[in-house]
Structures are given as C-alpha cells and as structure tokens.
Amino acid sequence: MNLFVIGLGYTAQRFVDLHGRAFARITGTVRSADKRARLAPADVAVFDGTSAAADTLAKAAAADVVLISVPPGSGEDPSLTAFGEAITMGRARRVVYLSTVGVYGDHQGAWIDEDTPLAPEHDRVQARVRVEDDWRGRIGDRLTVLRLGGIYGPGRNALVELRAGRARRIVKPGQVFNRIHVDDAAAAILGAIRRDRGGAWNIVDDEPAPPQDVIAYAASLMGVPPPPELPFDSAELSPMAKSFYASNRRIRNIRAKQELGLVFAYPTYRAGLDALWAAGEGR
C-alpha cells in the first residue's frame, strides 16, 4: 500500500514517523526546499501552493491512500487546485483530509457532535467547509474528514511555552477548548485508513477545559509559579488567537472511538502533559 502526503507538517510527519511501516512506499510534498533537505533522503517534492510537477502528480495518482494536511488559502484551496484531478482520477481508495473543529462555530459551551450543523464564523473556517464540500463532491465516500481539536505534542505544548517565557493565562469566563495530542491524531489517521470509511469524525480528547487550567497544570509539573491571570478583554491577541476564543463548545468524540477504533493514549491534557514532562519537555 502506497501513501502520498500533501503537506508533511507537524501532524502528518508525526503520522509517518509513528506509522510509516504500514506502507510500502511513502511520497509527498513539503513547503520549502529547506524542509526537503532536512527530510532527505525521503521521497518528497516542494509544493509552492500553486502547481505541482508532473512526476509529483503521477505519484499522487498512483497512491492507494492520500493524506491532505495543507490548510486552505484565502482563495482556491491549493491542494484541490493542484492535485484535484490527479487524485479524483487516480487509484486512491481512501483520501484523508485533516480539517478543524472550528467548522462548528460557537455553541456557548454546549456539547456537540458530528450531527451538529456546521456554522463557521470567519473566513478561515468557512474555507475549511468549502474544501470539505469540494472534495466530497469530487470523490464521494472515498473521502474521510478528520476534524481536529487544538493539536499539541512534542515541541508544541504548554511546558515549552512556559520555559520560553511565552505562556499566558488568558481568562475568558466559561471558555473551554478541546485538544488532541498529536500521537492520538496520528492514531486516528491510521484508524480511518484501516476502517476505510467515508464520513467526518471529531478527533478531540475527552475533557474540554479552560486554557488557563492547562498552563497552571504545566506550571505545577515544572514546579514554577503560573503566570498571572490576564482578562481576555485586556489581552493583546493575534487574529488567529482571537478566532480560537470566539468559539466556545464541548465536543464529543464517541463516534471516532466506536467507528474508527480510536483508543486514546492521552485522553486528557493532564495525561498528555504528564507524558511530555516525563520525556523531558520544558526542562
């Protein structure tokens, strides 16, 4: 079984590192020549978001499984524009698209699941919905959509942010997020490929929690005082960060467990941070 990955970023690369042995051949794309050099001798090509070389398109068309982790741009989706025809007409029996739980919009802290209507509130997640729909219109049940919570893991976690002095405990009363450890996200990708089912699933942990609690727990592991609480209204945030706080919801993951066979290694942020601290993160 051959795998083609569009966008060997943090999550897709972790999937390959953990589960690459499941495939006879792995090819794919990266965003820059520098990253391509770092991954050498891996069989990857540079994809600039506009067009792909003929031999790269041929590899996409010949793959049994395609994993897409490139986010949509402000206009046309780069992966769909460049690879849509090759994948649609190619041999892939399963195309896994990594999306986001942001497509559900704000539910004021209520519990939601995959039956909840999509209600994206800003351009970035509206584009995600369009891409999900466009791929589904092209390949139908060959498409699996995994809607991921906030991804953390080695090198990207509250322990690292605290040690670097970047962590802030921003408090917006009642606000909660779902997260997902990158290793559990990788396990969900493998489950989607093995179960070979079309549809969309929420890939999130068991415990939506306030973001300030995560920082405080990380500080307790490190034995350092947590940063002072900072009211949301007075915090200076990037547009991307503000978009996370604009939506408040608790997301169920029952279907991913039942239908994709997902078994969490890190069902809560505490379990994830415990393991990361034990592995030396933030030291």
Q: Taking Cα atoms as reference points, which of 232, 255, 111, 242 lies closest to residue 172? A: 232
pLDDT of residue 240: 77
The answer to whether residue 162 is domain-embedded is no
The domain of 43 spans 2-154+179-206+251-265
Report how far apart the first and last C-alpha atoms of the chain are (Å, whole number): 40
pLDDT of residue 164: 96
pLDDT of residue 197: 93
The answer to whether residue 258 is domain-embedded is yes
Residue whose structure tokens are 């025809």: 85
Q: Taking Cα atoms as reference points, which of 263, 260, 248 lies closest to residue 112? A: 248
CA distance 231 to 212: 11
The answer to whether residue 238 is domain-embedded is no
- Dihedral over alpha carbons 275, 100, 103, 79 (to 10 degrees): 180
Q: Are 101 and 128 in contact (CB under 8 A)?
A: no
pLDDT of residue 241: 80
CATH number at residue 145: 3.40.50.720
pLDDT of residue 56: 96
The answer to whether residue 171 is domain-embedded is no
pLDDT of residue 74: 66
Distance of alpha carbon 223 from the chain centroid: 30
The answer to whether residue 84 is domain-embedded is yes
Tokens of 94: 């399963």
The answer to whether residue 115 is domain-embedded is yes
Q: Taking Cα atoms as reference points, which of 99, 24, 100, 94 lies closest to residue 66? A: 94
pLDDT of residue 106: 95
The answer to whether residue 83 is domain-embedded is yes
Number of helical (H) and strand (E) elements in the chain, helices listed first: 11, 13
pLDDT tens series, the chain, 283 aa: 999 999 999 999 999 999 999 999 999 999 888 888 887 667 999 998 888 999 999 999 999 999 999 988 766 789 999 999 999 999 999 999 999 999 999 999 999 999 999 999 888 889 999 999 999 999 999 999 999 999 999 999 999 999 999 999 999 999 999 999 999 999 999 999 999 999 999 999 999 999 999 999 999 999 999 999 999 988 888 887 878 888 999 999 999 999 999 999 999 999 999 999 999 999 9
Tokens of 6: 């569009």
The answer to whether residue 241 is domain-embedded is no
Domains of the chain: total: 1
pLDDT of residue 37: 81
pLDDT of residue 40: 67
